[in-house]
Structure 1
Amino acid sequence: MARPPRFDVKQLLDAAVRLAAAGGPAAVTMSAVALEVGAPSGSVYHRFAGRAALLAEVWLRTVEGFQEGYFKALETGVDARQAGCAAARHVVAWSRAHPEEAALLLYGAEDFGRADWSEEHLQRADLGNQRVRASLASLATALGAEDRQATERVALAVVDLPLSLVRRHLRAGDPLPAHAEDLAEECTAALLGSLPTASAPAPTAPAAG
């Protein structure tokens, strides 16, 4: 029976996350990842075609892990307003539970070399973006947001506001305060409170297929 590989993809990506959290995307190189886990460079090249593939996987795994819980949060609650508040809480709670991954979200896909990604990686990224847009549109509809200003209010409430709260502390190198989830929910509820209805059912995140 063949021995399992000593250094698997998860170990290498975990190492890449640590490097990116500490030094930004520029710190993630094939040799740096190998050194971080004590592996020969060949182990990294065996699992990733090159640095562009490594960076793509680091970014996509992080974002997809975040989005999985975010979509679930949008299905929480008896009405759309509660779902929006749950999504805002998720942004903070996930960041608290995954501080190194959250540090990566201070950057963007372009910082992780999107211009050099393979077509497969680009399709994964685009699918995730499409699901986010569709879920936000569904939430806005459920909340009765009918014009541009109202839909902007929804995006601000459930995306921009909780992310800005997290990023302020991350950039300062401070831990998230104990009240951060409650504060995010309170602010989101206030923004969504002026929309016409909270009686519609919470939206369901679209399938990935």
Structure 2
Amino acid sequence: MARPPRFDLDQLLDAAVRLAAASGPAGVTMSAVAKEVGAPSGSVYHRFAGRTVLLAEVWLRTVEHFQEGWFAALEGEGDPRRAGRAAARHVVAWSRAHPEEAALLLYGAQDFGRAEWPDEQAGRADRGRRRVRDAVARLAAALGAADPAARERVSVAVIDLPLSLVRRHLRAGEALPGHAEGLAEECTAALLA
């Protein structure tokens, strides 16, 4: 019977998140991840075909975890304005609860080598992006936002605005202030009014 691996996938990806939060995507190398968890380099190469796949997986896992709650907030309310406010609040609350992952999301997929990702990871990224686009389109339709400028306002309200609030504090190395969720919700409500 095969011996279970000492270092599982989540341990390795957690290490990659820590490295990315501290040093950006450039800090995420196969040897750095191995060193971070105290594993031989072979353990990392056994799980990931190369650095490109490692970067793709750390980005995708982080984005997908973030999006689970964002979709739940956006789709869990009957009233579209309340749903938009809940989605904006989620961006800040999730970032507060997961500061290392939030720091990683300050970069874009392109910073994690998106152009070189294998088909499997590229497909996951494309499906996630389409799902976000479709959710925002449904919210915009429910709000009666018919023209391009109105649809853009909805996207800014539930994505860009709360992310900019998070980004400003994380890039400055500051903790999110206690009022950040409320501020994100208030600003989103004003844009969706």
State whether TM-score is above 0.5.
Answer: yes
The answer for the alignment partner of 1:198 in structure 2 is: none
The answer for the alignment partner of 1:102 in structure 2 is: 102
Letter in 2 for 1:50: G
Please give the alpha-carbon distance, in whole angstroms, between the structure 1 residues aligned to 2:159 and 2:37.
35
Instruction: State the Cα deviation string for residues 11-69 of structure 1 (Å, max 9, x = none).
Output: 00000000000000000000000000000000000000000000000000000111111
Please give the alpha-carbon distance, in whole angstroms, between the structure 2 residues aligned to 1:8 and 1:99.
22
Cα deviation, residue 149, structure 1: 1.2
The answer for the alignment partner of 1:184 in structure 2 is: 184
Cα deviation, residue 78, structure 1: 2.9
Please give the alpha-carbon distance, in whole angstroms, between the structure 2 residues aligned to 1:100 and 1:70.
18
The answer for the alignment partner of 2:40 in structure 1 is: 40
Instruction: State the Cα deviation string for residues 83-121 of structure 1 (Å, max 9, x = none).
Output: 000000000000001000000111111110112110011
Q: How does 1:148-163 map to 2 (within 5 A)?
A: 148-163=148-163
Q: How does 1:79-158 map to 2 (within 5 A)?
A: 79-158=79-158
What root-mean-square deviation, in Å, do the aligned CA atoms of Structure 1 and Structure 2 show? Answer: 0.8
Letter in 1 for 2:36: E
Any stretches of 5+ residues in structure 1 without a counterpart?
194-209
Please give the alpha-carbon distance, in whole angstroms, between the structure 2 residues aligned to 1:2 and 1:120.
27
Higher helix share: 2
Letter in 2 for 1:112: F
Please give the alpha-carbon distance, in whole angstroms, between the structure 2 residues aligned to 1:78 and 1:151.
19
Letter in 1 for 2:72: K
1:59 and 2:67 are equivalent in the alignment: no
Cα deviation, residue 75, structure 1: 1.5
Q: TM-score, normalised by structure 2?
A: 0.98
Cα deviation, residue 4, structure 1: 1.9
Cα deviation, residue 2, structure 1: 3.6
The answer for the alignment partner of 2:72 in structure 1 is: 72
Instruction: State the Cα deviation string for residues 127-161 of structure 1 (Å, max 9, x = none).
Output: 00000000000000000001111111101111110
The answer for the alignment partner of 2:11 in structure 1 is: 11
Please give the alpha-carbon distance, in whole angstroms, between the structure 2 residues aligned to 1:116 and 1:137.
29
Please give the alpha-carbon distance, in whole angstroms, between the structure 1 residues aligned to 2:128 and 2:172.
29
Cα deviation, residue 3, structure 1: 3.1
Please give the alpha-carbon distance, in whole angstroms, between the structure 2 residues aligned to 1:123 and 1:7.
27
Q: Report percent identity of matched pairs.
A: 78
Are the counterparts in 2 of residues 76 and 82 from structure 1 also a CA contact under 8 Å? no
Q: TM-score, normalised by structure 1?
A: 0.91
Any stretches of 5+ residues in structure 2 without a counterpart?
none
Letter in 2 for 1:29: T
Which stretches of structure 1, 4 residues or more, deviate above 3 A after TM superposition? none
